[in-house]
């Protein structure tokens, strides 16, 4: 239980860190101010500000975010009538605006806000010490910070460092980089696993072994037999064969195979396996393996492409077979998967991490508003019409997408709880 929880937190943390670092890195390269880089959600438990970015760790290890200038609004922290304190430099410019009651500024100037502009002309005005006879106006430094209500100190967001001030290619790369990093992580981890396991699957149509008393054994199949056809489907590799068998639960299959250069024919009825509400076919055969160095090196790429194909196949089934919540999984499903992976040791956990990473990358690129793919779609539309997408339209689309994703997450989480724990 404890090991599963620790592994779950580490896996989730790595996935989020790698994904968000992609956005962070390319945003910085494009001159976009990253105001906050957060691992986790909810109340913060640690923060540090460095090179203009505030790094935070938050209490719930269920996500994270990169908060870029122009993607949020300081009116959430500042509003007319709010009592704040100001830190001034030697030139009388504001370097810090404290809008939190959780901290105090040394020799801070008390101000009740009347109005402010922290994007264009950079100023703030208000009444000093509640003296409403005069409105005092202060210039705000370009690199000034604001201490928000929860005590987090972040840079203000002038227009020249906002997301939309970057070029369109830079914005597109920033949106794509999170998924790209997940793909890179998946490939690297699969290569590492290839050098950790005892032997590497050959992905051939030749059998490694046959399980005793299995449907394959009863059909007369033996180790080293080469399966060339199942029903009318030609078999050239293990991926094709295992995928076809998996899609035929409890069905009789006509099998053509080669043994010692002689072609034979037999039939076998797959065993029906039900797992997580879905049915799979099983013959009781294992894949042939090798310890070749080149095969170990190529294992990473093979597993990467195989996993991507599997995910796209699953997405395709949602449209061809009908949508089901069982096709999706949230944090609860990931926790259950982590529990299974930890029972397989380090290689099991690493393989699960790699699979989740490519899954996260692909799902994030779906053209759904509020996801990276939805943002990229808006970027493409902007390139086609050759003018920026209206801000109100983009905000409305993203809000609708976010609401849809939150509703879907609630439904998926409840469905996962029923599947795995009830």
Positive or negative torsion for Cα 124, 128, 133, 138: negative
**Given this model, what pLDDT does residue 210 score?**
93
Residue 326 banded pLDDT, cuts 50, 70, 90: low
The Cα 206–Cα 248 span in angstroms is: 20
Bridge partners of residue 38, in order along the sequence: 56, 65
Domain boundary among 158, 186, 211: 158
As a whole number, mean pLDDT of residues 219-247 equals 92
**Given this model, what pLDDT does residue 416 score?**
67
- 114 in the same domain as 142: yes
Residue 419 banded pLDDT, cuts 50, 70, 90: low
- For residue 71, pLDDT over 90 is answered with no
- What pLDDT digit, counting tens, does each position of 30-48 carry? 999 999 999 988 888 898 9
Q: Residue 118 domain-assigned?
A: yes
- 390 in the same domain as 296: yes
**3-state secondary structure string across 48-100:** EEECCEEEEEEEEEEEEEEEECCCCCHHHCCCCCCEEEEEECCCCCEEEEECC
**Given this model, what pLDDT does residue 327 score?**
64
**Given this model, what pLDDT does residue 405 score?**
77
Q: Residue 45 domain-assigned?
A: no
Residue 318 banded pLDDT, cuts 50, 70, 90: low
- What pLDDT digit, counting tens, does each position of 154-208 carry? 999 999 999 999 999 999 999 999 999 999 999 999 999 999 988 888 888 999 9
Token readout for 170 is 């830079």
Indicate which residue of 20, 36, 148, 287 is catalytic. 20
- For residue 109, pLDDT over 70 is answered with yes
**How many domains does the chain fold into?**
3
The Cα 120–Cα 200 span in angstroms is: 59
Output 154 or 334, whichever has higher pLDDT. Answer: 154
134 catalytic per annotation: no
The Cα 394–Cα 369 span in angstroms is: 9
As a whole number, mean pLDDT of residues 209-236 equals 93
- 413 in the same domain as 315: yes
Q: Could you count the other beta carbons within 10 Å of the beta carbon of residue 262?
A: 7
Positive or negative torsion for Cα 342, 346, 348, 354: positive
- What pLDDT digit, counting tens, does each position of 280-290 carry? 999 999 998 88
**Given this model, what pLDDT does residue 120 score?**
94
Weakest mean pLDDT among 276-285, 320-329, 397-406: 320-329
Q: Residue 300 domain-assigned?
A: yes
Q: Residue 21 domain-assigned?
A: no
Q: For residue 108, what is the DSSP state? A: P
**Given this model, what pLDDT does residue 22 score?**
96
Output 254 or 150, whichever has higher pLDDT. Answer: 254
Q: Give every CB contact of residue 264 below 8 A, 6+ residues apart in sequence.
A: 220, 256, 257, 258
CA atoms within 13 A on the CB side of 404: 11
Domain boundary among 287, 302, 326: 287
- 392 in the same domain as 303: yes
CA atoms within 13 A on the CB side of 336: 16
- 246 in the same domain as 308: no
As a whole number, mean pLDDT of residues 111-129 equals 93
As a whole number, mean pLDDT of residues 321-325 equals 65
- 260 in the same domain as 216: yes
- Give the global pTM: 0.78
Q: Residue 326 domain-assigned?
A: yes
- 368 in the same domain as 322: yes
Angle between helical axes of 2-29 and 331-342 (0-180°, round to 10)? 120
Residue 339 banded pLDDT, cuts 50, 70, 90: confident
How does strand 226-230 pair with strand 271-275?
unpaired
- 101 in the same domain as 186: no
- 240 in the same domain as 368: no
- 418 in the same domain as 303: yes
- 418 in the same domain as 304: yes
**Given this model, what pLDDT does residue 21 score?**
95
| DSSP-assigned letters across all residues of 121-190 | S-EEEEEETT-TT--EEEEEEEEEEEE-TTS-EEE---GGGSGGGS-HHHHHHHHHHHHHHHHHHHHHHH
Whole-number average pLDDT of the chain = 88
We report the CATH number of the domain holding residue 210 as 2.30.42.10
The Cα 34–Cα 78 span in angstroms is: 20
The Cα 408–Cα 421 span in angstroms is: 19
- For residue 302, pLDDT over 90 is answered with no
- 421 in the same domain as 326: yes
Q: Residue 414 domain-assigned?
A: yes
- For residue 323, pLDDT over 70 is answered with no
Token readout for 315 is 């997405």
**Given this model, what pLDDT does residue 370 score?**
80
- For residue 132, pLDDT over 90 is answered with no
As a whole number, mean pLDDT of residues 243-263 equals 93
Q: Residue 20 domain-assigned?
A: no
**Given this model, what pLDDT does residue 322 score?**
65
Domain boundary among 287, 317, 351: 287
- What pLDDT digit, counting tens, does each position of 352-403 carry? 899 989 988 988 898 888 889 989 998 999 999 988 888 788 778 878 887 8
**Given this model, what pLDDT does residue 345 score?**
86
Q: Residue 422 domain-assigned?
A: yes
Enclosing domain of residue 85:
74-158
Q: Give every CB contact of residue 295 below 8 A, 6+ residues apart in sequence.
A: 194, 200, 202
As a whole number, mean pLDDT of residues 244-269 equals 93
- For residue 12, pLDDT over 90 is answered with no
Weakest mean pLDDT among 154-168, 260-274, 311-325, 384-398: 311-325
């Amino acid at each position: 239980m404890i090991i599963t929880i620790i592994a779950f937190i580490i896996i989730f943390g790595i996935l989020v860190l790698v994904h968000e670092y992609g956005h962070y890195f390319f945003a910085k390269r494009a001159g976009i101010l990253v105001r906050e880089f957060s691992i986790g959600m909810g109340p913060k438990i640690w923060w540090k500000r460095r090179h203009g970015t505030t790094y935070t760790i938050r209490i719930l290890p269920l996500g994270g975010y990169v908060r870029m200038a122009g993607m949020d609004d300081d009116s959430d922290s500042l509003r007319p009538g709010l009592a704040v304190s100001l830190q001034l430099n030697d030139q009388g410019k504001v370097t810090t605006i404290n809008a939190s009651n959780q901290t105090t500024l040394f020799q801070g100037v008390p101000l009740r806000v009347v109005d402010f502009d922290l994007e264009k002309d950079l100023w703030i005005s208000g009444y000093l010490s509640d003296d409403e006879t005069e409105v005092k106006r202060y210039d705000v430094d370009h690199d000034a910070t604001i201490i928000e209500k929860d005590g987090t100190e972040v840079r203000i967001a002038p227009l020249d460092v906002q997301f939309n001030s970057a070029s369109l290619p830079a914005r597109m790369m920033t949106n794509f980089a999170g998924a790209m990093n997940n793909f890179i992580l998946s490939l690297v981890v699969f290569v590492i696993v290839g050098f950790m396991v005892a032997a590497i699957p050959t992905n051939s149509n030749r059998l490694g072994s046959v399980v005793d008393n299995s449907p394959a054994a009863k059909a007369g199949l033996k180790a080293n037999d080469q399966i060339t056809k199942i029903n009318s489907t030609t078999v050239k590799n293990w991926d094709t064969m295992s995928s076809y068998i998996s899609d035929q639960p409890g069905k009789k299959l006509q099998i053509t195979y080669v043994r010692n250069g002689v072609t034979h024919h037999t039939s076998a009825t797959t065993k029906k396996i039900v797992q997580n509400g879905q049915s799979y076919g099983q013959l009781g055969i294992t894949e042939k393996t090798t310890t070749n160095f080149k095969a170990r090196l190529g294992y990473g790429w093979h597993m990467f492409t195989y996993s991507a194909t599997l995910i796209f196949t699953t997405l395709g089934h949602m449209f061809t077979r009908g949508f089901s919540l069982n096709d999706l999984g949230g944090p609860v499903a990931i926790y259950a998967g982590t529990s299974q992976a930890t029972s397989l040791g380090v290689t099991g956990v690493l393989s699960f991490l790699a699979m989740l990473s490519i899954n996260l990358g692909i799902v994030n690129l779906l053209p759904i508003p509020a996801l990276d793919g939805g943002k990229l779609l808006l970027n493409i539309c902007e390139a086609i019409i050759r003018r920026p997408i209206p801000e109100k339209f983009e905000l409305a689309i993203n809000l609708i997408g976010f609401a849809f994703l939150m509703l879907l997450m609630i439904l998926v989480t409840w469905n996962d709880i029923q599947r795995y724990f009830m």
